[in-house]
Amino acid sequence: MNNKNKILVFHHSGAIGGGSVSMLHILKTLKTSGNEIKVICPNEPPHILNEIQDMGINASGIFNKNWVYPHFNGKTYNVFDPRYQKRWRFIKNSFNKIKQIIADEKPDIVMLNSMTIGWMVACIDKNIKTICFDRETLPDNGRGRRCNMIKKWLSKMTKTVYLSEFDRINAGSHANSCVITDKVDLSKFDDMIDKTRAKSSLSLDIDKKYILYTGGMWKVKGSHIALKMMKYLNDEYGLIFLQYTKKDIINNSIKLRIKKLLGLDYEGDALKLLEGINDRVKFFPAQQDMIPFYSACDIVIFPSTKPHQAMPIYEAGAAFKPAVISDFENTKEFAKDEKNVLTFKVCDAKDLAGCIIKLSDNELSHKLSDNGREMCEYNNNLQDLDIEIKKLLKSIED
C-alpha cells in the first residue's frame, strides 16, 4: 500500500456530537498526510457536511439515516418491533447501492465511523482495506444474538478502533483491534474567555454558578438526570442545557398522542421536570464554537445512563473545569474519582447534586481542574493523533 491512500469514509451523523468531532480530527490528520479523501455523510442536519467541505475535503450528503443499525447504547428496539424490522429490511435492500458507491470511488481504504454501519463490510471487496472506528458501546454487556452479529461485522474489518479497552473487550477483543482515545484540540482551550464576559455574551445571570450539560434531549446522555439535579440545588446554581431548542408549539400529532398513551414521550416527560426550575435552565441549540460555554460554566456534568462516548469529560479537562460523571467502567480507565473527576451513582440525580455542592470546596475544585487538564494532555491530546493514525495505516499494509 502506498504512503498516500485514496480513502472513502462513511459517517453516520449530520449533527455535531462526539463521534462527529472525532471524525473531523481524523479527517484533518489524513488530509495533512496527503491522502485523497471522500466522505459520505448525511445532509440533514447539514452541520458536519458543511464542516467537512470547509476543510477542503470532498463530501457528499447522500448518507441515508436508515443505514444505521439500531442496536447500541442509546437506541435499541425489540427485534419484533416494526421499526426494527423496517430498518433491517432497508439495510438489506441497500447492499447493492453501497457496493456501487464503492465501485465508483475505487478506494484503497474504506473507513466506517461507527459500528452501527459495520454491516457495510459485507459490501466491500476483500482487496480493499477496511477500518471501523467504533464510537458506541454494545448494549447488554455485549450479549445476545444481535450483539454477536455486530461483533462478527467488526471482526471482519482489517482493523477496528475502539475508544477504550472496556469497549474493545466488550466487543470481543479480536486480534485486529486497537484503542485510540477521543482527542481534544488543546490549543482551542488555551484562549478561554473571561467568565463574566462569556456569561454576558450568552445572556446568563452574572451572579449564578453554571453547570454545563452538552448532551441534548437524549435519555442515554441523561438529560432528565440533569434536570432532576436542579431540584436538589438552590437558586445560586443555573444549568446550561446544550443541543436542544425548547419547542413552544404544541404537537398534537397522532404519533405523539400514541407515544404519550404508551408512556414513550421521553421529551415531554423530561420537560415536565422544568416545573419550579424553569428560570434557572437555559437552552441552547447545537454549537460549533464551544469555548464561550466552557468559559461561562463552573462545572461540567456527564450524567449518562449507560456507558457512552465521553467527549465532554476530556473537553472539561482541557478547559480546566471540574467534571462530574456517571460511574461506569468505560471511563474509569482515564477518569478517576476524587483525582481528576467526581463520580456519582448512575441515574441518581440527588447524588449528582451532592457532588455539585461538594465542589463548593475550592481546593477540591482546583485539584480536579488541574488533574483533569493533565489527564487530557496525557490521554486525549490531538497532537498525538497524527502518530496514532500513521501507525494504524501502517498496521494494515500488505
Q: Sign of the CA dihedral 47, 52, 58, 62?
A: negative
C-alpha grid cell, residue 138: 454494545
CA separation for the pair 181, 162 (Å, rounded)? 7
Instruction: Decide: 203 and 43 in contact? Cβ < 8 Å.
Output: no
Q: Return all residues near 391 (Cβ < 8 A) that are at least 6 apart.
A: none
Bridge-based pairing state of the strands 6-10 and 209-213 = unpaired
Beta strands at 75-76 and 58-60: parallel, antiparallel or unpaired:
unpaired
The helix or strand, by DSSP H or E, that contains position 289, with its residue range, turns out to be: none
Rounded Cα distance, 115 and 113, in Å: 7
Query: Which structural domains are found in the chain, ordered by start?
Result: 6-183+382-395 (3.40.50.2000), 186-379 (3.40.50.2000)
Q: What is the pTM of this model?
A: 0.90
- Beta-bridge partners for 209: 237
In the prediction, which pLDDT does 369 show?
A: 97
Distance CA 174, CA 155 (A): 6
**How far are the Cα atoms of 195, 208, 226, 358 from residue 281, in angstroms, in the given order?**
18, 11, 10, 21
pLDDT at 395: 94
Please name the residue that has the C-alpha cell 472513502: 8
The C-alpha atoms of residue 241 and residue 285 are separated, in whole angstroms, by 9
The pLDDT of residue 258 is 55
Show Cβ contacts of residue 303 under 8 Å, excluding neighbours closer than 6 positions: 213, 215, 221, 222, 225, 226, 229, 324, 325, 326, 344, 349, 352
Residue owning grid cell 442509546: 74
- State the chain's maximal CA–CA distance in angstroms: 63
Q: How far apart are CA 199 and CA 206, in angstroms?
A: 6
Per-residue CA distances from 137 to 13, 148, 294 (Å)? 16, 13, 26
Cell numbers for 349, please give them: 440525580
Query: What is the rounded CA–CA span in Å between residue 84 and residue 354?
Result: 39
Strand 71-72 with 75-76, pairing = antiparallel
Q: What angle do CA 82, 88, 91 make, to 5 degrees?
A: 140
pLDDT at res. 248: 45
Reply yes or no: is the peptide bond before residue 307 cis, omega within 30 of 0: no
pLDDT at site 93: 96
**Cα dist from 1 to 99, 128, 132, 166, whole Å:** 22, 10, 18, 31
74-90 pLDDT, tens digit each: 778 888 889 899 999 99
383 CB-near residues (< 8 Å, 6+ apart): 186
Query: What tens-digit pLDDT sequence spans the chain (398 residues)?
Result: 456 899 999 999 998 888 899 999 999 999 999 999 999 999 998 999 999 999 999 999 999 999 999 988 777 888 888 989 999 999 999 999 999 999 999 999 999 999 999 999 999 999 999 999 998 888 887 889 999 999 999 999 999 999 999 889 888 877 799 999 999 999 999 889 999 999 999 999 999 999 999 999 999 999 999 999 999 999 999 999 998 876 544 455 655 555 555 556 888 899 999 999 999 999 999 888 899 999 999 999 999 999 888 899 999 999 999 999 999 888 888 999 999 999 999 999 999 999 999 999 999 999 999 999 999 999 999 999 999 999 999 999 86
Alpha carbons 18 and 121: distance in angstroms, whole number? 23
The phi and psi torsions of 128 (rounded to 5 degrees) equal -100, 130
- Residue 289: Cβ within 10 Å count: 7
Nearest to 382, CA basis, from 141, 181, 228: 181
Q: What pLDDT does 265 receive?
A: 80
70 within 8 A of 91, measured Cβ to Cβ: no
Report pLDDT for 249. 41
DSSP β-bridge partners for residue 58 = 38
- Give the torsion sign (CA, 53, 66, 19, 384): negative
